[in-house]
Amino acid sequence: MTQANKTVNKATAEQKPSRYVDCEHCSMQAVCLPIGSENHAIDLTSNYLTKRIEVSAGRNSSPLLNQVTGVKLFEQAKPLTAIFAVCSGTFKLSQQNEAGIEKIVGFRFPGELMAEDALFLETYNYSAIALDDSSVCQVFVAPLSACSKLAPELQQNLIKLLTKQSYVQQRNTQALIGKKSAECLLAAFLLNICQRYAKYSGNETQIELTISRHDIANFLGIRRETLSRILSKFQQEQLISIKGKLLVLLSLNRLKQLADN
């Protein structure tokens, strides 16, 4: 474990567990765990293949234009050399279209993967931006590729991992297309992120909301104003509470009811 003391010293530290997600709760498990008893030689947790690195948040050094906040871990269209698992913190994944318009395509919490959906391809499909002081496990592709040629089981595990991941991804986005009302959309989103964050925090009724309203609205395909109104409404109706960065879900049942409409 590397040091993340900076994070601990911050004002918001009370709400945030001062620990990394452990390997047992990480989606990379299928890749990292050594395969079969005879194959112990291939242990991807050795530093040869993987490396834990810190990503400090802090806004981009150049506040010229409406630049993205946070720090880029990797960048869309650049050569892909490694994939990542989030150990602590939060990331947003964004794509820029030809016109340069930013579209948030997802968020990642501890235990979740980034760029795995482009494994063995040439370039990253999206950029990853830290919204927080974060840490990640970096898995280099070249040695992974070499290893997997030696160990067919590893490769089958990889394929299973990737297909499962892409299925989850698809469900996440397909659900949102359903053209539910913005309220349902938001209810579904809040439940989703709290549930995912719970793997890390242990509590699926609350989350430290490091994601800006702008990014949530962008991701959901609604306007910031609309998002803000619905959040206010949810608070009036005692469905949620927001104090500073802490979001609490007050009634999972009613939110679930709203979500699947």
Residue 188 Cα distances to 8, 109, 198, 211, angstroms:
31, 17, 15, 16
- Please name which of 3, 261, 211 lies closest in space to residue 108, comparing C-alpha atoms: 211
Asked if 215 contacts 90 with a C-beta cutoff of 8 angstroms, the reply is no
Asked if 181 contacts 261 with a C-beta cutoff of 8 angstroms, the reply is yes
- Which partner in its own copies, DNA, none is near 159 (CB below 5 to 8 A by kind)? its own copies
CB 100 to its own copies: min, Å: 12
Which residues lie near its own copies (CB under 8 A)? Answer: 95, 97-99, 103, 105, 117-121, 125, 145, 148-149, 152, 155-156, 158-160, 162-164, 166-167, 169-170, 173-174, 176-179, 221-222, 260
Q: What gap in Å lies between CA 59 and CA 131, rounded to an integer?
A: 9
CB 153 to DNA: min, Å: 45
Which residues lie near DNA (CB under 7 A)? Answer: 59, 63, 66, 69, 179, 181-183, 212-214, 221-229, 231-232, 242, 244-245
Decide whether 21 or 249 has the Cβ nearer to DNA: 249
Q: How many CA atoms lie within 13 A of 245 on its CB side?
A: 13
Q: What gap in Å lies between CA 260 and CA 188, rounded to an integer?
A: 8
Decide whether 155 or 212 has the Cβ nearer to DNA: 212
Decide whether 169 or 203 has the Cβ nearer to its own copies: 169
- Which partner in DNA, its own copies, none is near 225 (CB below 5 to 8 A by kind)? DNA
